[in-house]
Structure 1
């Protein structure tokens, strides 16, 4: 080729490929040979910006020197009468009438009307003086109504054959600098701008008003600089941007709103600066970028679009097939709109320094299914490489690293053949900063091999996909580990996992025999602690029993002393007062006799009370059975003098129930008081005492058939108040029921502690 920088590509009706270059003129390739056209061969300029073939088979070239027309034999330069010479041509458009529109960089637009009878034709020049908005013209487009849209650095002009209509930021454009223009099949005009994203214009018709819709970064669009646009066979608009990849605009249809889908380096595009887009005859998409070529097949496109919509894309997904300098695409990058498919299905891609022809099979057979061969190339400690092969015979030695760390007490079985990696490495607990180096070996795009790794025993899940070939782990705890790593080639095929087991030994105080010793010591401590606790409990029980027995003995001694000393004395007083009374009777000393009677009754009453106290203090009288017998004895003694029928009923077994001293005392005194009152005031013919045991409660019931009494009146007396106080003191419930003429009933319910 005459020059490496390709600007335009065209296949003519005969199958020849015409290649415009920047500085090298035109290259014609007929399948075998290149033919060159430069200024020497009659070309107006060597910097070719556009190529077009008309319906008569003639080839038009726009260059920095003007317009050339090639009829198959002769190269003709359009006349200079309108100023076409020395003009940089940015674009050429052939309208439906066969007229040619020529956009220039600073000299406005030329309209060329061919004359079939003459070799030359008519040229009409449009500049700012003729109504053009700016003389620097970047893009041209003809719509379905035969209007010519002219994109400039100051906005867009629409020429309807008679006059210009302006569209700028004032009228609704997102930015005046218009790089490219496209009319879609729905009649909307798209303007790709430099700085304002893309603007969609829906012209005014009989059914709708004209409107502008902006898509820019402020509104959520991916980029404000749009370099190229293309409408695919389904009516979707593809927008190539400067820094954010390519965006697919899906037209709203069937009740579904329009939407954008973004494709960038994150999804696998080789570069985010997209300068040219092509949909080939097999519906594969080609994207020319500043770093190379990306291909997205129709099958991969459907899968990728679905994953992007659902948010399920992963780093390990491969959708684009990328061609860069590393894998055969010899260009530094692609140029704007320099991509073309010829009739044979070959895609021609213009780059900054060469032209590349891509065979149609490139989209079918380019995926490399051979996974990389993953190898572990090294195991480092504390960021220092170690020659393990030099240590194989000196595993009992110590090694001081360059950073001052000393490695010792290590062990391994053998060394790998190629990379000097120790097998079954065992490290001391103090050497627990480990790094693993690995590589995925492949013959195709080795720099694009990606990795995932995991350290079983430390990591819960695999790492993110990465290009790094080193995994570092610090401060590892003692234990057994397995490092696993796998490699993925540029087409998404994964290798098998490489596994590397190793261990970090614990310090002596964390070894199994240390734990065994700790367990023995712990069991010994537990044994002696339990033994000490049992001894302490036994001693406490013994002390408690001793104290209890001491109290019982003391109570027994007191009761005996009271019986023997005080009781005997009071009995003697009673006896001698009786004798004195009998002696005085004979002498008829009435006053002295009365005093002695009182003395005798008081001492007798004192003896009875003292006997009650002695009975209550006696620990051998603690059972409920003995309390009941005491009450029965008391009630029957009184019944002998009053001629009253008495019944005592015991329901359920009560002989094993024991009561505390205060409980026995208060129950006894309550019922003694009640029995006395019944015999003294009730005039009863019968009295009954009933004792029931319904666990956990005891119930005592005293009932007579006497004259009864008014409870409200009797409540004021001390007797009933004392009985209620005694019941409350032991937590019992006392209930008294009576009314005049209907007898009386007293019940006491006591809950026996468990």
Structure 2
């Protein structure tokens, strides 16, 4: 009776129990593996990758912590690239990811975590721009990127680009300087103001709070004044902080203060051991420590460090103390709290003298309540019916009144058994009660109870007496699950109809554990112990069986209509598409329910699982006082959602009761990164452009195909609980489970490009976090594509050479066979060539002879005149000789003298005309002989006049009827020039002959007209370089001036058509009838003029033609 009373009292206070639950913080000491431990840590911070960095004083090292493994960077005086000192004090991770380490007595370091290199900054008395002092107690970076360093010689500002330090020190004669050189704290508030806390633990005369004026490079001091209630009482500034509500907090060696920065007013908050909710620093027995830190968690709670930790809730104005014997919950027994770090994932890291603790504010532990509540019905009018092991209880939650029904062997109107297993209410308001012995119907109006027990002699009685579940369908049919099967009770007849449901492998369905209404006309039935789920169609009387190992504890239909089964073998979900139950978890499950946000809650023996609304995320919560030795088959357990929204989940002999709204999912900042690389079992550090966790690509040689990669989950809540899988794409067929703690190894991987994927289930949210690394294993050079290309080229070249050899051999034989024919052809060609040369020589000779013939005719005409004179004067002299003889006889001296005089004159004339004839003959001989090519100074006027006359008389000799007017227009001062007179004479003769031929043809064509043939030969001197744009035009003449001469041969013949002009100087081209010309005259003339450095051109515009010969002036005498 006492137990029943206590149970009812517990039920009434369920809501109060939920409301009174406080989230208890759990302090977890960081105990590392592999004999590694953390001693006293002076500072804790976190980088962007998620690594926790600590300055360990006791070990003298910088520590990187990934959640369960550490990497130490220790001080080694023998190695330059090592930590700069043995007493690391403070840390700063700047905007570029560099880690700054301040030391006690060893200066300042900058560490690059990607390249793992150190830069050391030390105080140098000889360098005023060096670090001011080697004891560094605080480091910050302002929003402008400048580094502020707190030392025991004042405050320094470092320019990272130059490496120079600017010093700010105390001057007792200047109040705008820093108040003390013992700088302990630095802080930048949201407005960018730098606050500087000074003072040391021993004594409060030196110290004070300072506000740095960046513009004036000065300080505003806030000094302790015991007489001023709005001032500090202690100059030892130990902590500075600005919270999310813009409150500015100052910690000193004796109390906690808040500063009104606008009015410059301090408010003192002193802890009171008698009033634990009063805001203040942790109570301390030794004033040496004071306030060690001030910080704020993501929920806005203020954390104050000292002797333990005070956590102040500004919304509820409550404070909880953790630490020592006065710890509120007894989970943190340390009396020292040195530094704190609020992690990005919500975790809180706390350093004490013995070590480091981790606090997870989101680690919600669900309390387990002893006792059983197998069944419950909550009505809308605040009435709750509860079935227990000790009867039925009706509770009015508004009035707090209760009524209980129990079994009384002497009262037939009492319950048939006190062990209540199931409850159901029909449409008439009747309450059906399933017990450990029979079924009961309670009429709430009159309190009458009707019993239904199994009677072997009555086929219409209930099949069994252990009634584990009851379900009322839409047709007012009550379905009863007993240890002997499924019964159907018609409330009209009051008779039971046993449903003989057979399994696939034979036998009837018995030991009903749960009945769950599904879609319309469908019942889902779970079998206890033996293991089956049945889907029963009420209309078709058809059933489908689904085997489940070890039976079913609970069946539940969620808001989506999905059927879930909790069984000792795990959690199952029905998949309509494949018509099967899919295993979700292999953890033994007991009871299922759903909250108001449609999250599914499932209880196991030791834990509770939450499946989110979209059913793609499972989160596990550990139950307090878990006992995994409990019975896995809990036919009495149930899951309910109370009217207040609380979750009620039972197991074999207890239950969980909690408000799901109090369970907060922490921010998911977990990451999975690679930390170290091994090749052939040896660690690799050098050769990587970045730290391995920064690399997205990894390239390895062919002999580096055995490699290992370590990783860190960076989920520091409980990384050991995370499930880790990995897959090397293009190598693995499926995901592998990581068997080692944090290392993946592959051996003898063939060359290729791979993508290493790794994933881990987050212990907080259940989501998967992943990472991937592209790995390229280069093949050996002899198997690379370019090697195969080289092989192919080599084969092609060899094949080509062999084919070439065969062809060359065939060609060589063919050449040998054709050699005689080719030699014969060559001889024939040689003979033909010689004949051609002979013919060409004959043609040229013929042209010369033709020219010579024309010249001869002219010469013959020219020589006739002097010969006539010679003959005439010879005859006259003969007569004079006769007269002289007569006169001698007469002795007439005067006549003799006169005759002798006449003879002398006649002889002179004979000599003159003889010499003239001799000159003409010599000219003919000179023209007819081959040229020597030697140039000589030649009078071009005389040459032109001579060849004009010879040409005319030669033409007249051939055609006596031809008459033409020819005259010269010769430059009177034309200088002699260096030419070959025979060659130039041929040119002149050829051009003049052509002119006479053209005028003769024109005269015949224009016979009967007044046409008169005319040929003009003119010379002139071109002294202006523009007169002849030829490079040789600038030669020097007789008088030293630059220039050339021009010979113009014009006629008034028919002219030369334009289509012939371009061909006129081509060899063998002639306009004369066949057989009358060789076509070489003008071609030879063109070659001769060009050989003399001159030019020959033709002008003809329809009537008449003009040939111009330009010859450069040569060097004269």
Alignment TM-score, normalising by the size of structure 2: 0.33
Structure with the largest fraction of helix:
1
